Structure 1
């Protein structure tokens, strides 16, 4: 043994293996193949590495709430890391391991260590996690070790106050499904260091995304246990267009289980909203309302733009809150958990178009990591809901933080102060542009719009941009949106105008779930105005990406070519290829 340290056990266990470490957080959804454990995020330093059987050390998770579902798949199919070591607050991956343990009696250890210890991990090649102990080696550890006894879960939440409502769930008075849900909530409350539980008025479920057999197995177990939601519950985008997947040519081995997963949540009483933008629904929460939302962009929007209160809840904890109406009283549910800890000074370039907002969100999310930022310099920007939606989705893709504040724009920003300050210059924006524009060729075969789902206003703007124009026959244009928005856009005539241009509308699902044949197999390069999809697409669908404004996307649809030059507001010509912009390392 070369080095030993102790940390905080989040999920107990004993495992060893080759050490695989990075100073940048990793989103398992969109970043790791749930069937093989290979890192598919082409912007991450661990890209193309296999996590299977290795001790993975990253500062924290980041990005999508569905990372818990991917880790559960990996644990049950035998391709998970042997253990996970982190140094920041982390709940998404932790919850995946907890579900595996509590529901399926399989798991991997998760250990949080001090930042000073974490920064030393790169010096070693092998590691062993044994309860709270982290042991590091230059050579493979000896084989004659004895696994430590895992601590009993009840000891982890003895200090959490349970009222009569909570006790009824724990004792099984409301059935087995609610009892198991409360067990998972208790384990997460311990991780979050909550002292009590609170009521939530509504829940948005992200766990309806099909990550593999484990996601369906979990939901069907709850149905078999006669699970029923206790508060109004909306469903996120699912993995297929539920009403039209067969007509779109989606294979049965994806379409059938993905649709069955949605049916399971509907059977529990959830609403068939099927949108990743629940803030566009009439049921959107009000300022100060305590809710339990999953889906990274939705959480960011709810907290930051609406001023509702939710944690960045992992998949599967969402249904636990829906079945109980309870959530740990911690984090962003409290005033203290919503305070800015980092100030970002930015400047809006003269003449900036709508691509500025996702680009800036990507930069800010990359810099802040787990810290909640106060962003200054946009007081006169006139940012509205669509701009903040685009900003927040890109921010959530690369950040672990649950919210942001923009001075003069978002509702709680005026109360924020932070001495720690970072400036984001035009140079950082150019660097992010290069990172998101991965295609070598300007040729475009697909224009991808609606990640997150299009709003009614965006449908109207697209209709105006394509009015009287002719699309190239070689370019597909696809918009994803929720059923409610699609119906409103249809009634307003926006759908007809867009379809006359050649736009195809897809509902129920979103771009992070779409693949061939909805994406034409011959397409090698796509163009999008989404910072979120520009980040994920190279790993998810293996295509090069062109990123730009909505108007630039329409130009590409007409010409078959994406802009190769930087937009005028970013500077003339192409900037030099920059290093990959990523979450600020520890």
Structure 2
């Protein structure tokens, strides 16, 4: 620790003054699924800060990662007094910054956010106490006895001087279309300034992730917009909410959650959003086309839209999504442009023999951790022909460990059919290689269960597709699950009806499955997960990562067929798939 104060100058994303003991980690943190919004405890059991509490401490992380709902969790923490005193980042993070900006507007409470760059950030390791004043971070080693007091910044509403605004933009900003649209435009312009955008662009549709209930603050935000007369200006779909709105009482959900979570969905529909309630909006008939400029939130949906559909969206934070939907305008920056969509990392994948469907979520999880914030070009899958379900599973797991909004797979995803076309030309692009040992380490990270018993089988994170229902029906045909095991599937209402018409549900319900619409596994808990249950099994890399922190259970991760077998026997072998076991691999690996 320094004997004399050391000062570091950075870029202030949100002004203010605060001090506290430094809580440092060199790994990004997803606040959704990684931090308890009611207590501020880090609950991501894979993170080095697991078990730490954020309140009153200066949190230093390279950036956020994972879910777009991190902004909602941070706003919740600010409103209930469990937030960190300040955030210090290596890279600007829009999700976390947006949560602070909305807390300023709605609750008149804030915390300073400072971006210091990677070199200065790495120098914070081992420091004991820090003080932040606007764009200066002072390392004092220990708390000075000088009576210093921090302060929140007042709500910072931008001027229009640095942005090119249309006449319609100015009308929104001046309140001609009501207070909700005016406040929304203020927030959009504030974020545009932080992002360095000089103009806005029109978007054709929105997908809202802020309808997930993280606590009273998330509902207050939405209801405040409704009271201000909010109405969306573009077609808008809604993400999965925190309960099955039609059946939460029948499922035994506590009204303390069911009522506000359902009311939150109603509030967004009152603004003109469609009743979709799915975390997989790309399965709807309204899915965007290649090149379409959209505003989507929900991390897996963003990655799928950019990567698989070739649409264009940033990884929008909760609340910025609805603000843009109310304006119809988004900052012209990031993945809305050509150059930021280029790959800045090459990842080579070897052949591993005949793989099962657990390969793609595991590979996405592993490559996401290699990529960080960099967009990767993945080589070696040119002849593997991953289907849309494979790409959905890959993207959801990738978005769990990476902060990047996009991936390219050479010869597979639309922008990488010519791989050279997606490589950044202004830098030397580094290369990484995936090997079986690395994948095995990631498999072990996802398999946190301590015994081979299985109480619950979790399917549908992201929401099940029609083709996944067809595959499951084939696996379940003529079988009955173990009476002790709960097998539950989450899906959107539209896909559920498609599966019913196709006849898949007759087989699946005869097997003994529970079907849950509107909500998703990242929001489900007891009693859908029985209180007696200690161990889950899932084919989702995303849920295998988040479940230990969200529901406090150990997890087995495996292929869909393994999940069905576990549902029948109430147990699993707990071993890696054959294609990851050394005895199943011979010779030198070659590309698929």
TM-score bracket relative to the smaller structure: over 0.9
Question: What's the counterpart of residue 379 of structure 1?
Answer: 382
Q: Following TM superposition, where does structure 1 have runs of at least 4 consecutive aligned residues deviating by more than 2 angstroms?
A: 141-158, 572-575
Question: What's the counterpart of residue 540 of structure 2?
Answer: 530
1:132 & 1:556 partners in 2: Cα distance?
54
Q: CA deviation at 1:100?
A: 0.7
Give the conservation status (yes or no) of the 8 Å contact 1:4–1:133. yes
Q: Alpha carbons of 1:103 and 1:158: their partners in 2 closer, same or farther (altered >3 Å)?
A: farther
Question: What's the counterpart of residue 422 of structure 2?
Answer: 416
Q: CA deviation at 1:165?
A: 1.5
Give the conservation status (yes or no) of the 8 Å contact 1:210–1:239. yes
Give the conservation status (yes or no) of the 8 Å contact 1:129–1:135. yes
Question: What's the counterpart of residue 318 of structure 1?
Answer: 321
TM-score calculated relative to the size of structure 2: 0.95
Question: What's the counterpart of residue 192 of structure 2?
Answer: 189
Question: What's the counterpart of residue 466 of structure 2?
Answer: 456
Gaps of 5+ in 2: 586-592
Question: What's the counterpart of residue 432 of structure 1?
Answer: 442
Give the conservation status (yes or no) of the 8 Å contact 2:108–2:155. no
Residue deviations 1:18-46 (CA, integer Å, cap 9, x gap): 10010000000000000000000000000
Q: Alpha carbons of 1:574 and 1:210: their partners in 2 closer, same or farther (altered >3 Å)?
A: farther
Q: CA deviation at 1:158?
A: 3.3
TM-score calculated relative to the size of structure 1: 0.96
**From 559, 562, 575, the counterpart of 1:565:** 575
1:531 & 1:155 partners in 2: Cα distance?
40
2:522 & 2:265 partners in 1: Cα distance?
17
Q: CA deviation at 1:243?
A: 0.1
Give the conservation status (yes or no) of the 8 Å contact 1:348–1:381. no
1:65 & 1:573 partners in 2: Cα distance?
41
- Secondary structure of the residue that 2:414 maps to in structure 1? coil
- Secondary structure of the residue that 2:54 maps to in structure 1? coil
Question: What's the counterpart of residue 335 of structure 2?
Answer: 332
Q: Alpha carbons of 1:38 and 1:498: their partners in 2 closer, same or farther (altered >3 Å)?
A: same
- Secondary structure of the residue that 1:41 maps to in structure 2? coil
Q: CA deviation at 1:149?
A: 9.1
Q: CA deviation at 1:104?
A: 1.9
Give the conservation status (yes or no) of the 8 Å contact 2:157–2:187. no
Aligned residue runs from structure 1 range 339-378, under 5 A: 339-378=342-381
Question: What's the counterpart of residue 217 of structure 1?
Answer: 220
Q: CA deviation at 1:192?
A: 0.9
Q: CA deviation at 1:89?
A: 3.0
Q: CA deviation at 1:560?
A: 1.0
- Of 411-420 and 47-56, more deviation after overlay is shown by 411-420
Question: What's the counterpart of residue 395 of structure 2?
Answer: 392
1:168 & 1:348 partners in 2: Cα distance?
57
Q: CA deviation at 1:123?
A: 2.7
- Secondary structure of the residue that 2:249 maps to in structure 1? coil
Q: Alpha carbons of 1:485 and 1:154: their partners in 2 closer, same or farther (altered >3 Å)?
A: closer
2:322 & 2:351 partners in 1: Cα distance?
40
Give the conservation status (yes or no) of the 8 Å contact 1:156–1:190. no
Gaps of 5+ in 1: 576-586
Q: CA deviation at 1:5?
A: 1.0
Give the conservation status (yes or no) of the 8 Å contact 2:158–2:189. no
Residue deviations 1:484-514 (CA, integer Å, cap 9, x gap): 0000000111011100001111000000000
- Secondary structure of the residue that 2:125 maps to in structure 1? helix
Give the conservation status (yes or no) of the 8 Å contact 1:161–1:197. yes
Question: What's the counterpart of residue 498 of structure 2?
Answer: 488
1:513 & 1:259 partners in 2: Cα distance?
13
Q: CA deviation at 1:348?
A: 3.7
Question: What's the counterpart of residue 590 of structure 2?
Answer: none
Question: What's the counterpart of residue 161 of structure 1?
Answer: 164
Q: CA deviation at 1:147?
A: 5.2
Q: Alpha carbons of 1:135 and 1:476: their partners in 2 closer, same or farther (altered >3 Å)?
A: same
- Of 380-389 and 154-163, more deviation after overlay is shown by 154-163
Question: What's the counterpart of residue 61 of structure 1?
Answer: 64
1:142 & 1:398 partners in 2: Cα distance?
40
1:17 & 1:146 partners in 2: Cα distance?
11
1:565 & 1:63 partners in 2: Cα distance?
27
What RMSD in Å do the two structures reach over aligned CA positions? 1.5
Give the conservation status (yes or no) of the 8 Å contact 1:157–1:189. no
Q: CA deviation at 1:468?
A: 1.0
2:190 & 2:351 partners in 1: Cα distance?
44
Give the conservation status (yes or no) of the 8 Å contact 1:98–1:107. yes
Aligned residue runs from structure 1 range 26-45, under 5 A: 26-45=29-48
- Secondary structure of the residue that 1:153 maps to in structure 2? coil
Count of paired positions: 575
